[in-house]
Amino acid sequence: MNISFADHKLPRAGILLLTQPKGTAFRGRAAEIDKKTGGALKRAAKAADFQGEKGSFVELMAPKGVSAARVALVGLGDPGELTGLEAEGLGGKIAARFEKGPDKDLTLWLDEAKGLKLEMDELAARIGLGLKLRSYRFDKYKTKQKENGKPKLAKAVIMSDATAKARRTFGELSKVADGTIIARDLVNEPSNILHPVEFAARIKANAPEGLKVEVLGEKQMEKLGMGALLGVGQGSRRESQLVVMRWDGGKKGEAPVAFIGKGVCFDTGGISLKPPAGMEDMKGDMGGAACVTGLMHTLASRKAKVNAVGVVGLVENMPDGNAQRPGDIVTSMSGQTIEVINTDAEGRLVLCDALWYTQDRFKPKFMIDLATLTGAIMVALGQEYAGIFSNNDELSDQLFNVGEREGEKVWRLPMGPAFDKMIDSKFADMKNVGGRFAGSITAAQFLGRFVNDVPWVHIDIAGTAMSSPATDINTSWGSGYGVRLLDRLVAEHYEG
């Protein structure tokens, strides 16, 4: 959808949409349009019992006195309570309501509302953001979509008294939305197309200006001793890849913040094969890597004043004559050995080498990893909260607070020596599963063994990255979860 900002002007066609606060009489522009229509707008509102409730609509078809095909009202609720997130939700609802057409154009008139909490530019930009995120579609493989099934709404012009400022604010927010959309696209892409080599190639090809990208293949990873990551990929025909993205927007020589993503391009479970039902969802098992890719894109394109590295471990977990077996013992880059009890607990094997590499090479200020790591996180938290696990209270609290405000929520779960015992192995330094109980925690505890003194958070996004319930601003299977959360974390706490 094309979204733009302009000063108030009557549209010649399409939909003219006005805002109406809850429970007040028509004022300003709504009163002006009502007058032009000979009072029809007010009568329509009355007939529909429209009270300006947040997100409610009333619509008037082909009214006399204006050339727009439709005039509509959207309720703002109480302007004193409307938050930025709710304004995005309104944008989403507007897209949902009008996308089917037949009109291609929508003009939204924003009026001063008494007691409005948000600045006008913020209101306009957040509605624009909601429109943009909600109208995302992944339909490139639908060759037979019927004309009447396709969305018609193509253009939205948001008119206010703060045009220039709104345009600027939207421009900034848009860069975060672009990162989210990159992540959604990657998660939605099927695994026959998006295998590790293709994923790495796309990162390289689509890197914004100033983002440095290095791709390490299996030979280089062997030299580095990444036996855990390589063990996961050894049953695949596709070469495993480790991609390092660097954005140096901060002070020269200052330690970077680091983001590490699980990129299992398809997870069959390996020799510990998964049951068939729902296995197709495992095309999204690279949601962590997708988020890191989208985030690095956003940081670079908004020229964030921070040094940041993104590292993604890209593999395919396949059963094959060359695949690793239950009972195999691999040596990780850290030197620690791992007994692979279950080849389906592969994410931690990929991440442990990626974490160690990042810590060793970059000496980061902190490390945050994202992974669709365990089904158990959905049993514990459902699909609205991601689980976080950490050795650092400050970083955890920062993430929690940012998450609440950005609508990408996290909830912290415990770690500790009691869980450590569960992953001790008879034959090696540790095993890759801890039994039936506390599955998400033992996975985190495993990762913790590869983190030295650096502040670290592990985010388990198995419930939030894909197949999560639709919201006002997302109906895509791949949600792009995490890009906003981490971009905001950086913006609020680690820039300048």
The answer to whether residues 302 and 214 touch, using CB atoms and an 8 Å cutoff, is no
CB atoms within 10 A of CB 455: 18
Residues 213 and 335: their CA atoms lie apart, in Å, by 27
Residue 347 within binding range of Zn ion, rule CB under 5 A: yes
Given the residues 152, 155, 165, 274, the one annotated as active site: 274
- Residue 384: contacted member of Zn ion, ligand BES, Mn ion, none (CB under 5 to 8 Å, by partner type): none
Interstrand relation of 430-431 and 337-339 (parallel, antiparallel or unpaired): parallel
In DSSP terms, 308 is beta-bridged to 247, 257
Q: Which residue, chain included where needed, has tokens 């897209």? A: 95
Alpha-carbon distance of 450 to 336, in angstroms, equals 9
Q: How far is the CB of 264 from ligand BES (least distance, A)?
A: 6
Alpha carbon distance 184, 307 (integer Å): 25
Both tokens of 406, joined, read 């950005």
* Cβ distance to Zn ion smaller for residue 218 or 267: 267
Q: Which does 89 bind (CB under 5 to 8 A by kind): Zn ion, Mn ion, ligand BES, none?
A: none
Cα–Cα separations (whole angstroms), residue 413 to 101, 310, 380, 418, 444: 46, 24, 10, 14, 10
Question: Are 435 and 442 within 8 A, CB to CB?
Answer: yes
Q: Is 351 in the site for ligand BES (CB under 6 A)?
A: no
**Region 203-242 residues binding Mn ion, contact defined as CB under 5 A:** none
Output the smallest distance, CB 275 to Mn ion, in A.
12
The yes-or-no answer on residue 251 being catalytic is: no
**For Zn ion, which is the closer residue by CB, 267 or 472?**
267
In angstroms, the first-to-last Cα distance of the chain is 34
Angle, alpha carbons 495-415-392 (nearest 5°): 20
Is residue 329 exposed (0-12), middle (13-18) or buried (19+ Cβ within 10 Å)? middle
Phi, psi (deg, nearest 5) at residue 23: 70, 20
Taking CB under 6 A as the criterion, which residues in 191-220 touch ligand BES? none
Residue type at 243 in one-letter notation = V
Beta bridge partners of 3: 156
According to CB under 6 A, which one of 374, 398, 445, 464 is a site residue for ligand BES? 374
Burial 83-121 (b: 16+ CB within 10 A, else e): ebbbbbbbbbbbbbbbbeeebebbbbbbbebeebebebb
Name which of ligand BES, Mn ion, Zn ion, none residue 396 binds, using a CB cut-off of 5 to 8 Å depending on partner kind: none
Query: Is there a catalytic annotation at residue 348?
Result: yes
- Asked if 462 touches ligand BES (CB under 6 A), the answer is yes
Token digits for 222?
């062997």
Between strands 241-248 and 212-216, the pairing is antiparallel
- CA–CA gap between residue 61 and residue 489 (Å, rounded): 45
φ, ψ of residue 112 to 5 degrees: the values are -55, 130
CB 229 within 8 A of CB 240: yes
Please choose which of Zn ion, Mn ion, ligand BES, none residue 130 contacts, taking the beta carbon within 5 to 8 angstroms, the exact cut-off set by kind: none
Total of residues contacting ligand BES (CB under 6 A) = 16
**Which residues, numbered 321-350, are part of the site for ligand BES (CB under 6 A)?**
342, 344-347
| Segment lying near Zn ion (by CB under 5 A), choices 47-55, 179-187, 272-280, 346-354 | 346-354
Q: Which of 348, 365, 431, 449 is catalytic?
A: 348
One character per residue 226-265, x = contact with ligand BES (rule: CB under 6 A): ----------------------------------------
462 binds, among Zn ion, ligand BES, Mn ion, none (CB under 5 to 8 A by kind): ligand BES
Task: Find the helix packing angle between 84-98 and 120-134, rounded to 10°.
Answer: 50
Q: Smallest distance from the beta carbon of 460 to Zn ion, in angstroms? A: 11
- Least CB distance from residue 410 to ligand BES, whole Å? 17
Please choose which of Mn ion, Zn ion, ligand BES, none residue 408 contacts, taking the beta carbon within 5 to 8 angstroms, the exact cut-off set by kind. none
**In contact, 195 and 320? CB cutoff 8 Å:** no
3-state SS assignment for residue 176: helix
One character per residue 266-295, x = contact with Mn ion (rule: CB under 5 A): -x----------------------------
Q: Is 467 helix (H, G, I), strand (E, B) or coil?
A: coil
Exactly one of 88, 121, 344, 408 binds Mn ion (CB under 5 A); that residue is: 344
Which residue number is nearest to ligand BES in terms of Cβ?
375
Site for ligand BES contains 188 (CB under 6 A) = no
Q: Are 413 and 387 in contact (CB under 8 A)?
A: yes
Per CB under 5 A, 264 contacts Zn ion: yes
Please tell me whether residue 369 binds Zn ion under the rule CB under 5 A: no
Among the residue ranges 25-33, 85-93, 121-129, 344-352, the one whose residues contact Zn ion (CB under 5 A): 344-352
Among 285, 316, 353, 487, which residue interacts with ligand BES (rule: CB under 6 A)? 285
Choice between 57 and 411, CB closer to ligand BES: 411
With CB under 5 A as the contact rule, the residue among 34, 86, 111, 285 that binds Zn ion is 285
CB of 216 to Mn ion, least distance (A): 23
Q: Please say which residue, 120 or 355, places its beta carbon nearer to ligand BES.
A: 355
Told to check if 339 binds Mn ion by CB under 5 A, we report no
Residues with catalytic function: 274, 348
* Residues forming the site for Zn ion (CB under 5 A): 264, 267, 285, 347
* Residues forming the site for Mn ion (CB under 5 A): 267, 344, 346
* Residues forming the site for ligand BES (CB under 6 A): 267, 281, 285, 342, 344-347, 372-376, 433, 439, 462
